[in-house]
Amino acid sequence: MCTNIVYEWLKTLQLSQYAESFVDNGYDDLEVCKQIGDPDLDAIGVVVPHHRRRIHEAVRRLKEADETVAGLYFTPEPQP
């Protein structure tokens, strides 16, 4: 399997064993991973409760990071 952002993300969570299943189920981008819920984890094959909690927590952090970054965008005013 080639290395991608989802593999790296799962590796940081110490859950890289799920990388192939994530990609096989269409979760090959972090934007898509932000939508993961319990039914998705069932389909991916994540059945260990503390693995599920770790993924849910990581998804929450991804969403919070988006909110933080969104607050940094601004429209520059034209220079006189």
Residues 8-60 have pLDDT tens digits of 999 999 999 999 999 999 999 999 999 999 999 999 999 999 999 999 999 99
Whether residue 48 contacts residue 21, with contact meaning beta carbons closer than 8 Å, is answered with: no
**What number of residues does the chain have?**
80
Q: What's the CATH class of domain 5-73?
A: mainly alpha
Please list, in sequence order, all residues whose beta carbon lies within 8 angstroms of the beta carbon of residue 8, skipping any fewer than 6 positions away. none
Q: Where do the domains of the chain lie?
A: 5-73
Is the pTM for the entire model greater than 0.75? Answer: yes
Letter string b/e over residues 13-40, b meaning 16 or more CB atoms within 10 A of that residue's CB? eebbebbeebbebebbebeebeebeeeb
Show the tokens assigned to 56: 């849910």
The pLDDT-based confidence of 1 (bands split at 50, 70, 90) is very low
